[in-house]
Amino acid sequence: MSHDPLLQPYQLKHLTLRNRIIVTAHEPAYPEGGMPKERYRAYTVERAKGGVAMTMTAGSAAVSKDSPPVFNNLLAYKDEIVPWIREMTDAVHAEGAAIMIQLTHLGRRTRWDKGEWLPVVAPSHHREASHRAFPKKIEDWDIERIIEDFADAAERMKAGGMDGVELEAYGHLIDQFASPLTNELDGPYGGSLDNRMRFCFDVLKAIRTRVGDDFILGVRYTADECLPGGTGKEDGFEISKRLKESGLVDYLNVIRGHIDTDAGLTDVIPIQGMANSPHLDFAGEIRSATNFPTFHAAKIPDVATARHAIASGKVDMVGMTRAHMTDPHIVRKIIEKREDDIRPCVGANYCLDRIYQRGAAYCIHNAATGRELTMPHTIAKADRRKKVVIVGAGPAGLEAARVAGERGHDVVVFEAANDPGGQIRLTAQSERRREMISIIDWRMSQCEKLGVSFHFNTWAEAETVQSENPDVVVIATGGYPHTEVLSKGNELVVSAWDIISGDVKPGANVLIFDDAGDHAGLQAAEFLAKAGAKVEIMTPDRSFAPEVMAMNLVPYMRALQKLDVTFTVTYRLKAAEQSGNEIIAHVGSDYGGISKQRMVDQIVVNHGTIPLDELYFDLKPVSNNLGEISHDQLIAGEPQTVVRNPAGKFQLFRIGDAVAARNTHAAIYDALRLLKDI
């Protein structure tokens, strides 16, 4: 029997949890029509297969019609959800894991122009900064209705085979009642702490009456909003004790902070560059004060920190939620003593930022997450060993090498630079984004185990590649910065990479023309401003850095707003002209009728990359497919069989930014979906 604290079972009332690691509630935005269908189920079951003790499915499943699904939430108010839930719970239980679901009413943390277009309700008219809806002040009949809705939804979940339900009480309706900052009601539900907590306890009582005792009921709540005038630590401890003493709940799931702003949310769920496990001690204090089962998650990305959380007795169950999006098989790998093989969560927060902006959650460097129906987490061996030559050791090339290695192929990688990493190595130059290098380091160590051979400092020509007698050639050479975007004076500008890499000295008065709107522009701004430059970031877009997204923007703003940096939206740099030691920046606008000038001493252009594709075009005529990828076969998950030149001796493919400027996830997805069938 293992002595690893993480692998000890835990008895939660009648429920035996097989170890101490859970996936906490999160809505990956995979529902179809509000239902957890095949894709949702496959995602959830993969984590159960990977050994987690319990998965808390959904985040914020909506109990009422006026809790519109702002990030494609599950609709727990519909009876038709029960059979879908049943299929999911049966499949998870068959893998030996427990499964619960988080229920909520979002209150003001949503928008009225989603779902049924009903007015948003909250215990005051105050709008939430993040979602911007001005709520209706909740009435007595709303309160009665929503309490019933919670009980109905819990009953549906029990009928669907869930082991229990958790209430979301941070930033959502239950907490909007609890916090003095968002509750302006008089009478039974407003005023004193007793009154502000009444809604929470009414909901708990209604649920408990409906589901009985043999059903787990938990609350995930903020025990310190960290906001002046909000629920402070003292009230938080009092709330914790009352929850325990109510006898209605079976565990506490501790949150610290507030989520009404992007910055607040990012402190609750820290991203890369922020401290690991920042609220673990706080959760431990609650556990000591209550002596009650305590769960907690907040950037506990690695096994060592998780083990410490349990071994030190700070929590009973440790949440590793994003860590499981990156690697669903963490527990299995711990059991098999293969912790080194765990794909590390790098805190890039592509997953969470996407649900607020672009839909489904994807992991920046595990393209199989959320695509379990088509992409494998474990790569199957190929029937025939092939010689695969890969050119480029950035994220696309290394993923291609890893997957080809897992397939059992003989893999050779050529890389022009000294080190692997490509653009990721540049990104990781920034102290705050250093964790990104694990995307590369993990792949390098996997490739080493798989016997992939690397040739660094090697500029591969067509002959270099052909002399390997390959069956398959993958060009993953990436791109170089595209700065030639001006009508005049392109030779006067430098790229964001020039600044980030340190190849070009920072100017003193700098204009950054950020047409790509991705990390590179802001990262360059931070380098420049920290070096003492006055920086203006200009974009023709309606908002700046749209590709960076909400939570990733927070650390940049925290750095840039304190420095000499201004942001100008809706203007376009047209041309540049030397004038003595200075440069005249000619500025226009896509809206027309504007012609302005700025005097600066440095212009930085961030406009994506141009593919480095010379080698690809050199090899194209001698390949047997002439570079063609069948999109139908790619999408269907079938091997590539295009033959356009029967005399050619190898298949040739191009992936990542060597095709077109995209992002890390796209590069890795290109590689996985092509190579898994080679």
Chain residues that interact with ligand FMN, rule: CB under 6 A = 24-28, 59-60, 102, 168, 220, 269, 297-300, 319-323, 351-352, 355, 361
Residue 348 contacts ligand SF4 per CB under 6 A? yes
Q: Is 428 left (phi over 0), alpha (psi -120 to 50) or beta?
A: alpha
Q: Which stretch binds ligand SF4 (CB under 6 A): 46-54, 225-233, 339-347, 594-602?
A: 339-347
Partner from ligand SF4, ligand FMN, none contacting 173, C-beta within 5 to 8 A by type: none
Tell me the two tokens of residue 366: 């595990």
Interface with ligand SF4 in residues 349-408 (CB under 6 A): 349-351, 363-365
Partner from ligand SF4, ligand FMN, none contacting 309, C-beta within 5 to 8 A by type: none
- Per-residue DSSP letters for 147-209? HHHHHHHHHHHHHTT-SEEEEEESSSHHHHHH-TTT----GGGSSSHHHHHHHHHHHHHHHHH
Distance set, CA 361 to CA 30, 31, 539 (Å): 8, 11, 27
Nearer to ligand FMN, 320 or 585 (CB): 320
Partner from ligand SF4, ligand FMN, none contacting 350, C-beta within 5 to 8 A by type: ligand SF4
Partner from ligand SF4, ligand FMN, none contacting 538, C-beta within 5 to 8 A by type: none
| CB of residue 324 to ligand SF4, shortest distance in Å | 8
| CB of residue 323 to ligand SF4, shortest distance in Å | 7
Q: Which stretch binds ligand SF4 (CB under 6 A): 208-216, 275-283, 319-327, 635-643?
A: 319-327
| CB of residue 204 to ligand FMN, shortest distance in Å | 17
Partner from ligand FMN, ligand SF4, none contacting 102, C-beta within 5 to 8 A by type: ligand FMN
Residues with Cβ < 8 Å from 377, sequence gap 6 or more?
46, 328, 329, 366, 368, 369
| CB of residue 385 to ligand FMN, shortest distance in Å | 38
Nearer to ligand FMN, 71 or 513 (CB): 71
Residue 548 contacts ligand SF4 per CB under 6 A? no
Beta carbons of 349 and 272 less than 8 angstroms apart: yes
Residues with Cβ < 8 Å from 493, sequence gap 6 or more?
483, 486, 513, 576, 603, 604, 605
Partner from ligand FMN, ligand SF4, none contacting 400, C-beta within 5 to 8 A by type: none
The gap from C-alpha 372 to its chain's centroid, in whole angstroms, comes to 17
| CB of residue 451 to ligand FMN, shortest distance in Å | 33
Residue 585: phi, psi to the nearest 5? Answer: -95, 120
Single-letter amino acid, residue 535: V
Nearer to ligand SF4, 301 or 405 (CB): 301
| CB of residue 25 to ligand FMN, shortest distance in Å | 4
| CB of residue 96 to ligand FMN, shortest distance in Å | 21
| CB of residue 439 to ligand SF4, shortest distance in Å | 8
Q: Which stretch binds ligand SF4 (CB under 6 A): 35-43, 303-311, 343-351, 585-593?
A: 343-351
458-466 contact pairs (CB < 8 A, 24+): 458/414, 458/415, 458/416, 459/416, 460/391, 460/414, 460/416, 460/615, 461/615, 461/618, 462/615, 462/618, 462/619, 462/622, 464/414, 465/389, 465/391, 465/414, 465/615, 465/619, 466/619, 466/622, 466/649
Q: Which stretch binds ligand SF4 (CB under 6 A): 115-123, 237-245, 309-317, 322-330?
A: 322-330
Q: Which stretch binds ligand SF4 (CB under 6 A): 33-41, 106-114, 244-252, 321-329?
A: 321-329
Beta carbons of 103 and 157 less than 8 angstroms apart: yes
Q: Which residues pair with 252 in a beta bridge?
A: 219, 294
Partner from ligand SF4, ligand FMN, none contacting 299, C-beta within 5 to 8 A by type: ligand FMN
# residues near ligand SF4 by CB under 6 A? 13
| CB of residue 182 to ligand FMN, shortest distance in Å | 17
Q: Are strands 596-600 and 582-588 parallel, antiparallel or unpaired?
A: antiparallel
Beta carbons of 99 and 163 less than 8 angstroms apart: yes
Handedness of CA 550, 555, 560, 562 (dihedral sign): positive
Distance set, CA 609 to CA 438, 446, 488, 616 (Å): 23, 28, 19, 16
CA dihedral 467, 414, 341, 54 (to 10 degrees): -100
Residue 322 contacts ligand SF4 per CB under 6 A? yes
Q: What is the largest CA-CA distance in the chain?
A: 85
| CB of residue 270 to ligand FMN, shortest distance in Å | 7
Nearer to ligand SF4, 72 or 349 (CB): 349
Residues in contact with ligand SF4 by the rule CB under 6 A: 322, 325-326, 345-351, 363-365
